[in-house]
Structure 1
């Protein structure tokens, strides 16, 4: 696991997902695909979980103006530039995907559960995002 803390953007794979979203030619369709892959999976892989979580975080930043700690210097400018898109139809899929990632069928959750020190903080961080997206 290439994580250094419990936040969404505290993992190398999260930055791969962010780069792919920033380079997307159809961000809405790509996010929907990332959410659907997680929602429909019998077992959610590590990478798939990150792609869905980063997509949810971007939506949270755009819709709720939530500020995530992110090492990408242009993250805040980029998310601001995404306000022209209507992400609201994806909110429920994001909420469902987060729930799936927190379930027993998730590699990412299993790995975090092994971290006795940070697991609860990681889980609470994702539940907080989920709650904001439900509003």
Structure 2
């Protein structure tokens, strides 16, 4: 997974996805990343990482910014340049994806369960859930 922290932006997959968002001109990349997590019986870590960053984008579009960092900068810059309003369907999909990613049929959950940071990672997920529902 190439992670250097438990934050949603703190891994190679998230960083790659964030840079790809910079080229996007609509919400399709965000929607695709979230839907990819919903389509799996078992969520691969890369799919989970991309969905989490996409959901971070949804929260930011709602004005519920999380922690900003050099790793979140591509998403933050994209949000500041675009004025999209996430639909109720996108928010509902985000909620469903979060529950699946933080569940037992998720490689990310399994990977974090093998570390001392599982609780911190789950708190990040909960914080994100609160922001998209605020």
- In the superposition, the TM-score normalised over structure 1's length comes to 0.87
Question: 2:45 touches 2:106 (CA, 8 Å); kept in 1?
Answer: yes
Change in Cα spacing, 1:41 to 1:134, as seen in structure 2 (3 Å) is: same
Question: Equivalent residues in 2 for 1:98-113 (5 A)?
Answer: 98-113=98-113
Name the counterpart of 1:81. Answer: 81
Q: Any idea what SS the aligned residue of 1:56 has?
A: helix
Q: How far apart are residue 70 of structure 1 and its match?
A: 2.6
Of Structure 1 and Structure 2, the greater helix share is in 1
Name the counterpart of 2:36. Answer: 37
Q: How far apart are residue 80 of structure 1 and its match?
A: 1.6
Runs of 5+ in structure 2 lacking a partner? none
Change in Cα spacing, 1:75 to 1:127, as seen in structure 2 (3 Å) is: same
RMSD of aligned Cα (Å) = 1.7
Runs of 5+ in structure 1 lacking a partner? none
- How many aligned residue pairs are there? 132
Name the counterpart of 1:17. Answer: 17
- Runs of 4 or more consecutive aligned structure 1 residues displaced over 4 Å after TM superposition: 72-75
Q: How far apart are residue 17 of structure 1 and its match?
A: 1.0
Question: 2:37 touches 2:48 (CA, 8 Å); kept in 1?
Answer: yes
Question: 2:64 touches 2:132 (CA, 8 Å); kept in 1?
Answer: no
| 1:64-116, Cα deviation, whole Å (9 max, x unpaired) | 3313243245543332222x11213311111111111011111111101101x
Q: In 2, Cα distance between the equivalents of 1:74 and 1:36?
A: 21
